Amino acid sequence: MPELQSKLRLPYDGQLLIDGAFVESESGDRFDVENPADRTVIGSAPDGTAADIDTAVDAAQEAYEHRWRTLSARERGRYLFEIADAIEAEMETFVELETVENGKPRDQSRSDVTEAADTFRYYGGAADKHHGDTIPEKRELFDYTVREPYGVVGCIIPWNWPPMHTADFTAAPIACGNTVVLKPAPEAPLSSLKMATLWQEILPDGVVNVVTGGAKPGARLASHPDVGKIGFTGHTQTGTKVMEAAAETITEVMLELGGKNPNIVLPDAPLQAAVEGTAAGLFTNTGQACAGCERLLLHEDIADEFLSAFTDHVSALTIGPGLDPETDIAPLANKKQYDKVSGYIERGKAAGATVLYEGSVPDDVDDGYYVPPVLFGDVDPDMDIVREEVFGPVMIVQEFSAVSDAVAMANDTQYGLTGAVWTKDMRVGNRLARRIDAGIVYLNNYDNGTFLGAPFGGFGRSGVGKKLAFEETLQEFTRTKTIRTRIAEDTVDDLDAYYTDD
Ligand code: NAD
């Protein structure tokens, strides 16, 4: 493993954070976390249980009632500013911890951790800027609305952007006056546990609680009767289970799920920009990005030229460990993902798709979870690699001749997270952007990094609700109450009459 440059000490062995205290799971069990670049153990986390979730929800409920809902929004905001500063003060430790637990190149980890700090600062500033309404009513009745927190919010996150997801699903809820029980993914829990050390110092006890572990504590959190709202990011199939569990108690859910995103290159596209943008869209986080581009739709007139330039570009990218500053494409984040992506590549080949390009993993890298980039052509619309999210550096290529066909191909998916259009004609670009059934469309870029301030969320089976936005995200974590008040009718001419005894 290349040398660490921060004060990070490995192995990193974190504990659960419940009610302001670091504790082991009631099970007493722990699980190891691997560095995907060389399969060495770089830390461990408690294997939390349903009983740990129950204890954490009780602590969060108590903190909500007695320590958090009673603060003014501005006071809550100040806590979030302090968390943002604390993350920045330990930037390099967070960056390296993410790189060794998730694998991604150090620069990508840095933008992830930077966004995590920015997210706390953003929602710290937003806390006191979210208002209710007044509604015109008849005569002496006066209606106004207030935005109230749900109480305890249960948040369940995946492994692909650990610091950012940790921030997305804690900053906005607590800014709104909720308290949180967070369940990180077992594949990459260490960034959340590291952030817990800052929360433990800064926040009142129980405002954010962290229970690591697998599906069992996740399922308990999704069905817990005292949880007022669920925030979930992960696979569509798991999202369905979470929604079903929450249905029992009619608990609201916010779901950020998978994608199979189309990237349309029109005949007049700025070709080199489209080539580089497509590579960025495909290889960010080694393709383990819900917003990434797994489907390339090329106009037949430029298909050969584009593919030739694209394969030249990809051949020049460096495959290696995330800690190496030269690395462009890092290993996949864990064994589960390695097996899954390798399986899709094998099934694509077995189904008869043509391999247009397949890279190779250099001989001198350690034995990590490396999968080289693969481009498939001559695909059938029913193949798994066309319909399902692979979540790796694997892209299918389809050609079209009429723009209307490109729209139909782009929308032929159960998902609707993102899409992209490349053209020099902004009239066509904007019209096409409106026809793609997705929550986010990139026009002449595939910048799938930071979205802070812009609503992020999908259509269809890519989810419900928006994160990272101002108004829409603050709506997610608050509920509206209408207060109808009887006041004086506006019919008294003489205000002195109020002071005159009958
Ligand atoms: P996953 O669905 O396997 O796991 C996500 C989380 O759910 C983990 O914490 C897991 O332990 C937990 N979980 C598993 N079973 C559960 C259950 N029955 N009840 C409650 N919780 C349960 O997903 P993953 O492999 O960790 O992440 C990859 C997926 O996440 C991809 O599909 C990707 O597209 C999606 N994702 C979406 C977004 C977005 O914003 N739309 C962002 C990142 C990742």
> Does the pLDDT of residue 195 top 90, yes or no?
yes
State what percent of residues in the chain have pLDDT above 90.
92
Closest C-alpha to 291, from 396, 447, 138:
447
Q: What pLDDT shows up at residue 492? A: 60
Nearest CA to ligand 1 atom 36: 234
Burial class (CB in 10 A: 0-12, 13-18, 19+), 492: exposed
Q: Are strands 418-422 and 179-183 parallel, antiparallel or unpaired?
A: unpaired
> Does the pLDDT of residue 103 top 70, yes or no?
yes
Token pair for 236: 């569509």
Summarised one tens digit per residue, pLDDT across range 409-457 is 999 999 999 999 999 999 999 999 999 999 999 999 999 877 899 999 9
Backbone angle region of 42, left / alpha / beta, with phi > 0 → left and psi within -120 to 50 → alpha: alpha
User: How many angstroms separate the alpha carbon of residue 232 from the centre of ligand 1?
Assistant: 7
329-339 mean pLDDT: 98
Alpha-carbon gap, residue 242 to 222, rounded angstroms:
6
User: How many angstroms separate the alpha carbon of residue 50 from the centre of ligand 1?
Assistant: 18
Phi and psi at residue 482, to the nearest 5°: -100, 130
Give bridge partners of residue 435 from the DSSP assignment.
Answer: none
Residues having CB closer than 6 A to ligand 1 are 156-160, 183, 185-186, 214-215, 218-219, 222, 233-235, 238, 241-242, 256-259, 290, 389, 391, 417, 458, 463
Q: What pLDDT shows up at residue 457? A: 97
Closest C-alpha to 68, from 158, 141, 214, 173:
173
> Does the pLDDT of residue 493 top 80, yes or no?
no
Summarised one tens digit per residue, pLDDT across range 39-84 is 999 999 999 999 999 999 999 999 999 999 999 999 999 999 999 9
Q: What pLDDT shows up at residue 497? A: 78
Report the Cα–Cα distance between both ends of the chain, in Å, rounded.
90
Q: What pLDDT shows up at residue 494? A: 78
Confidence of residue 11 (pLDDT cuts 50, 70, 90): very high
> Does the pLDDT of residue 161 top 90, yes or no?
yes
Q: What pLDDT shows up at residue 171? A: 98
Phi and psi at residue 420, to the nearest 5°: -140, 150
Summarised one tens digit per residue, pLDDT across range 119-146 is 999 999 999 999 999 987 777 888 999 9
Summarised one tens digit per residue, pLDDT across range 296-315 is 999 999 999 999 999 999 99
The pTM (predicted TM-score) of the whole model is 0.96
Confidence of residue 496 (pLDDT cuts 50, 70, 90): confident
Summarised one tens digit per residue, pLDDT across range 29-38 is 999 999 999 9
Average pLDDT, the chain: 96
161-188 mean pLDDT: 98
Q: What pLDDT shows up at residue 142? A: 85
> Does the pLDDT of residue 334 top 80, yes or no?
yes
Residues annotated as part of the active site: 256, 290
Q: Which atom of ligand 1 is nearest to the CA of 258?
A: 34
- The boundaries of every CATH 3.40.605.10 domain in the chain are 17-24+36-257+462-483
Q: Domain 17-24+36-257+462-483: state its class.
A: alpha beta
Q: What pLDDT shows up at residue 487? A: 80
Give all strands of the β-sheet with 30-34 in edge-to-edge order.
12-13, 41-46, 30-34
Q: What pLDDT shows up at residue 498? A: 78
User: How many angstroms separate the alpha carbon of residue 238 from the centre of ligand 1?
Assistant: 6
**CB of 212 closer than 8 Å to CB of 184:** yes
Q: What pLDDT shows up at residue 486? A: 86
State what percent of residues in the chain have pLDDT above 70.
99
Options 3.40.50.300, 3.30.470.20, 3.40.309.10, 3.40.50.720; CATH for 261-443 is 3.40.309.10
User: How many angstroms separate the alpha carbon of residue 132 from the centre of ligand 1?
Assistant: 33
Alpha-carbon gap, residue 231 to 477, rounded angstroms:
9
- The boundaries of every CATH 3.40.309.10 domain in the chain are 261-443
